[in-house]
């Protein structure tokens, strides 16, 4: 149940979790990053709502603008609800030269996601209307020897091609475990 408390619309459970998270991170180096990461992970749709950010600002006395600058700087933070499954394609140079663009196009087609300009491809984040899948891109996973690299639900796959990518998507769609 979401209720208004002070200036926040967070549920009591959300407030309680945020309070405990902020207390646990208090005084630690990188406390704000740790707080935001925990709160994002706690949300079923893995994102940071405006209400959550305002609550953190209020409780930590960190200016809201500073918090927004952090969440927009780091690619790991989401300001929109994410899908149940996330597929992340590397758009770094090594992966690009080994076909990551084709993998991206293939997934867009299979998931029915819209085309975007190539200029924005290195920061892509699209979610299907049913919120089943999010498609993201990353600048480099640091696994260039395995190019092209794709991450599926936090699991890294190297030397990916369109056939193996399609197979992983089928696994997700059927709910089956990978073989």
User: Site residues (CB under 6 A) for ligand FES?
Assistant: 90, 92-95, 140-141, 143-144, 147, 149
Cβ–Cβ < 8 Å for 135, 113: yes
The nearest distance, CB 144 to ligand FES, in angstroms, is 4
The nearest distance, CB 151 to ligand FES, in angstroms, is 10
Closest CB to ligand FES among residues 147, 172:
147
Closest CB to ligand FES among residues 111, 138:
138
Closest CB to ligand FES among residues 68, 157:
157
Closest CB to ligand FES among residues 149, 172:
149
Number of H helices, E strands in the chain: 7, 5
Give the distance, in angstroms, between the CA of residue 163 and the centroid of all CA atoms in the same chain.
24
């030397």: which residue's tokens? 159
Tokens of 77: 């933070």
The nearest distance, CB 76 to ligand FES, in angstroms, is 16
Nearest-CB residue to ligand FES? 92
Question: Of the candidates 133, 74, 121, which has an alpha carbon nearest to the alpha carbon of residue 96?
Answer: 121
CA distance 44 to 22: 19
């Amino acid at each position: 149940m979401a209720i208004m408390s002070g200036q926040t619309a967070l549920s009591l459970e959300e407030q309680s979790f945020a309070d405990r998270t902020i207390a646990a991170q208090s005084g630690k180096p990188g406390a704000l990053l740790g707080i935001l990461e925990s709160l994002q992970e706690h949300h079923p749709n893995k994102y940071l709502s405006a209400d959550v950010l305002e609550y953190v600002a209020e409780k930590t006395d960190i200016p809201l603008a500073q918090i927004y600058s952090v969440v927009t700087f780091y690619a790991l933070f989401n300001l929109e609800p994410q899908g149940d499954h996330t597929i992340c394609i590397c758009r770094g140079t090594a992966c690009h030269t080994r076909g990551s663009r084709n993998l991206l196009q293939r997934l867009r087609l299979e998931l029915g996601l819209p085309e975007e300009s190539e200029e924005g491809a290195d920061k892509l984040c699209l979610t299907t209307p049913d919120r089943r899948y999010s498609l993201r891109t990353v600048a480099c996973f640091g696994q260039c020897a395995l190019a092209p690299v794709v991450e599926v639900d936090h699991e890294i796959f190297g030397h990916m091609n369109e056939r193996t990518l399609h197979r992983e998507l089928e696994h997700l769609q059927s709910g089956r475990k990978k073989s």
